[in-house]
Structure 1
């Protein structure tokens, strides 16, 4: 059973619960933090962005973990969002979705609060690291390897779309920020692990007025990476519906990047100029001739990168297409 099932009350009540810290985690490396009765020694900064930092840490048994810290200096909203991200992540119990080992909120010496989210550490990094390494070596990732990894990513999205809550109600979720940097690789290099659920939302939303349209557009600008963002999030129109097909677009961009070394619209802007938004809205991308992949792979990418979300395949159809291609390997 997930440890989050034991949480009682609203997010605000969770935010108000504070645990004392052994020493300040900002003075890494070799800082010891005590979270829910366990000691973790921070050894290395792995990455940062916005209000958050991700550290490499080990427990008293020398087991390695990734510790995401989110500083909450601007009131309860940042703290509530941090707790929300952890709860959403833990909701989807799936082999291709990151696990939450533990979570804690700590009061710092300056009176601010920091949310700590403990996750497994994967030494191979993420798929963006795999792409970068391949680019540096002047090599391509084999189509067989791409399809195998991509199928696992799609399975994580399928689990989100088909999520059923404890009361048996079907709730369709969208990740909204699928990209190679948000997909970790298991230590054997074979299993992709989707992470970073701060952008995740219930998938289906009717845009009934201008206020709701602008709210969704602003939310996407803040939380959804531009090179992988669906066109309907660049220009949110009244009278439309945003749904899980936004993730299909991002998956198409991710598959392209795995094959050709960068996202399709970054490639267009880097080689032809212009703005990312216009490249996306006008569907301006091309398949390089230097790297040869099957026509079926290119056709699947083209189908997912349809500017009309109604014409994009759903996640079940994408997985079916991948399975059909993998029969040949």
Structure 2
């Protein structure tokens, strides 16, 4: 299941002043930076073909990709560059690449190609490897970006669009939860959901960033194991969307993919209202995010007029059950969301 990194190369083309990058045998020109976080940078890149007329003839990246739907019409892609400073970070990137290669679903962002190279640290730089990960590009941004824009305009998604976006996320997660062994995403949140607007259709929703994805089922049998899990979750699972059992794990517990169901409930709330149902606790003096989450203290803000149906609020509450053992599974969620779509779609 491991990846082989021998023979991979991603080299800047010095002739072009460092604006071109080779990922294996394919060359890409950096158009502009799209975002950054920590030691990772995301760029919009455009494939440079030796013969521009041969793009449709199955040359370059198109020749390499098994799924032709991933080939960009205009040759543009998103490239994530990660600066790796130590062996632990290197292992994390390798694991992200390995895990990403397990998935193949239209609502999960596919990794199209990747390369890891060794570099010599200098006086100005401290990293010893660079990783280049290539993905399809979605320029409409994330659900988080869209929520900020909509909040500023006092706009809300229609009930139908809320349900259709959510249904797509469920489809992507079902693919992950159905693997053997099942995988949990572990960081489902608006910032990890790409939204693409479509004329006359609900927005397309794609779940991305599998850096925290791991086999979902873990047996916790000691206090030490419980604390280790909490420590791991604090680093890999965004706090406002993190399940209660990852905040306060018992010394004897069976953790499973229902950690994602909690995050999914928080995300459905966020599709409606633009933030996690527990973020209010961050703004209250003496408020505790952890307490709000472990006690499932949800507050419902003013929404659109007319308001969202009460059935959507009940749906969120069903997923936000503090006891993981009584939380629904992804198949239960899909049956229910399909009923709601049938009831509330125009």
- Taking structure 2 as the reference length, the TM-score comes to 0.84
Compared CA separation, residues 10 and 263, structure 1 to 2 (3 A):
closer
| Contact kept in structure 2, 1:161 and 1:173, CA below 8 Å | yes
| Aligned with residue 152 of structure 1, among 155, 164, 168 | 168
Of 185-194 and 287-296, the range deviating more from structure 2 = 185-194
2:65 corresponds to 1:57 = no
Compared CA separation, residues 20 and 295, structure 1 to 2 (3 A):
closer
Partner residue in 2 for 1:5: none
Distance 1:252 1:22 in 2: 43
| Aligned with residue 222 of structure 1, among 229, 235, 243 | 235
Per-residue deviation at 1:278?
1.6
Partner residue in 1 for 2:69: none
2:289 corresponds to 1:276 = yes
Partner residue in 2 for 1:307: 322
Of 268-277 and 231-240, the range deviating more from structure 2 = 268-277
Partner residue in 1 for 2:194: 184
2:175 corresponds to 1:128 = no
| Contact kept in structure 1, 2:10 and 2:24, CA below 8 Å | no
Partner residue in 2 for 1:21: 11
Partner residue in 1 for 2:339: 324
Name the Cα RMSD after superposition: 2.1
Compared CA separation, residues 71 and 17, structure 1 to 2 (3 A):
farther
Compared CA separation, residues 243 and 81, structure 1 to 2 (3 A):
same
Compared CA separation, residues 315 and 240, structure 1 to 2 (3 A):
same
| Contact kept in structure 2, 1:264 and 1:285, CA below 8 Å | yes
Structure 1: unaligned runs, 5 residues or longer: 1-8, 164-169
Per-residue deviation at 1:109?
4.6
Residue aligned with 1:265, SS:
coil
Distance 1:51 1:307 in 2: 34
| Contact kept in structure 2, 1:83 and 1:115, CA below 8 Å | no
Structure 2: unaligned runs, 5 residues or longer: 50-73, 122-126
Distance 2:262 2:170 in 1: 12
Per-residue deviation at 1:269?
3.1
Compared CA separation, residues 19 and 311, structure 1 to 2 (3 A):
same
Of 213-222 and 263-272, the range deviating more from structure 2 = 263-272
Per-residue deviation at 1:65?
1.0
Per-residue deviation at 1:18?
5.3
Per-residue deviation at 1:267?
2.5
2:27 corresponds to 1:39 = yes
Of 227-236 and 181-190, the range deviating more from structure 2 = 181-190
| Aligned with residue 102 of structure 1, among 113, 117, 130 | 113
| Contact kept in structure 1, 2:33 and 2:42, CA below 8 Å | yes
Of 187-196 and 93-102, the range deviating more from structure 2 = 187-196
Partner residue in 1 for 2:182: 172
Compared CA separation, residues 256 and 271, structure 1 to 2 (3 A):
farther
| Contact kept in structure 1, 2:117 and 2:131, CA below 8 Å | yes
Query: Which one has a bigger Cα radius of gyration?
Result: 2
Instruction: Report the count of equivalent residues.
Output: 309
